[in-house]
Amino acid sequence: MTTAQTLPKTAPAALEVHGVHKWYGAHRVLDGIDLTVRPGEVTVILGPSGSGKSTLLRVINHLEKPEIGHVSVGGELIGVKRHGDRLKELSERAILAQRGRIGFVFQNFNLFPHLTVLDNVAAAPVATGRLTKAAAVALARELLDRVGLGDKAGAYPRQLSGGQQQRVAIARALALRPGIILFDEPTSALDPELVGEVLAVITDLATSGTTLVIVTHEIGFAREVADRVVFIDGGRIVEQGPPGQVLDHPRHQRTRDFLGKVL
């Protein structure tokens, strides 16, 4: 959260999104998105339903391909690049390698129902050949302790509350030691009394210097953790800046209208 300011300007961006356009059929969902995220920076993305927030995260994680534009993570290109008439696509293998450097936490947790909590967290480092089973289990135990679920290692997802499942999902994302973690409305599916425990874990990541991009409607949380707030509407960045600016002194009427509804 604070490290972004202390890094030299020459450090490669953790994430760069350049001129990304995405259509579904005739519907233009992303309309020229440019975004740079520095290492250690926490970016909160706000915007109305249907404004393209999830699509942007999916493009960053290469679950969707932009028609125009490109994304780079840690200085390495992801996806399709259009330079004049030249189009370059990465191999499936390169895409998988890139995706392994990005953590993704979904609204609905997406845990493997047939695996224990411990195996949910340990599975990916083993499957990708990064760690031995023993090392992955040791790491998973450490991460479960970090999210306050050390005593739930042997449980199955259905035995946990939504807040606990989401904390497992965060531990699972951390197990790949990603350079950046994307969150898509991580607390929207939770009962209100369970929201705080998940936001506390994300705040812990933010204060320990993890690079985060978070789509959320939790404005108080955004004010607390964000280095930058980005407001998206109609597939475009309408405005962005420090939370005190965008949330308290928005320059655009569309931002004011949105904040008036969610605050």
Q: Which positions touch ligand ADP (CB under 6 A)?
A: 24, 29, 47, 49-55
Nearer to Mg ion, 49 or 91 (CB): 49
**Angstrom distance (rounded) from CA 214 to CA 170:** 13
Nearer to ligand ADP, 109 or 175 (CB): 109
Among ligand ADP, Mg ion, none, what does residue 52 contact (CB within 5–8 Å per kind)? ligand ADP
Alpha helices in 15-158 (DSSP H): 53-60, 92-99, 117-127, 133-146
* Site membership for Mg ion, residue 211 (CB under 5 A): no
Taking the complex as a whole, how short is the minimal distance between the CB of residue 25 and ligand ADP, in angstroms?
7
φ, ψ of residue 200 in degrees (nearest 5): -65, -40
Among ligand ADP, Mg ion, none, what does residue 6 contact (CB within 5–8 Å per kind)? none
Taking the complex as a whole, how short is the minimal distance between the CB of residue 92 and ligand ADP, in angstroms?
20
**Angstrom distance (rounded) from CA 130 to CA 119:** 15
Nearer to ligand ADP, 164 or 216 (CB): 216
- In which order are the strands placed within the sheet that holds 228-233? 102-105, 180-184, 212-215, 42-46, 228-233, 236-241
Give the CA-trace dihedral at 57, 219, 256, 61, to 10 degrees: 0
Residues in region 52-91 near Mg ion by CB under 5 A: 53-54
Nearer to Mg ion, 73 or 182 (CB): 182
Specify the 3-state DSSP secondary structure of 255: helix
Show the tokens assigned to 206: 């933010």
Residues in region 27-56 near Mg ion by CB under 5 A: 53-54
Nearer to Mg ion, 53 or 228 (CB): 53
Taking the complex as a whole, how short is the minimal distance between the CB of residue 54 and ligand ADP, in angstroms?
3
Nearer to ligand ADP, 50 or 154 (CB): 50
Taking the complex as a whole, how short is the minimal distance between the CB of residue 105 and Mg ion, in angstroms?
13
Nearest-CA neighbor of 215 among 42, 2, 74? 42
Question: Residue 238: in which H helix or E strand, if any?
Answer: strand 236-241
Question: 195 with 164: CB under 8 angstroms?
Answer: no
Nearer to ligand ADP, 54 or 72 (CB): 54
**Angstrom distance (rounded) from CA 187 to CA 217:** 9
Taking the complex as a whole, how short is the minimal distance between the CB of residue 54 and Mg ion, in angstroms?
3
Taking the complex as a whole, how short is the minimal distance between the CB of residue 83 and ligand ADP, in angstroms?
26
State the helix-helix crossing angle for 133-146 and 117-127, rounded to 10 degrees: 130
Taking the complex as a whole, how short is the minimal distance between the CB of residue 51 and Mg ion, in angstroms?
8
Class of residue 25 by CB neighbours under 10 A (exposed 0-12, middle 13-18, buried 19+): exposed
Among ligand ADP, Mg ion, none, what does residue 24 contact (CB within 5–8 Å per kind)? ligand ADP
Q: Which residues bind Mg ion (CB under 5 A)?
A: 53-54
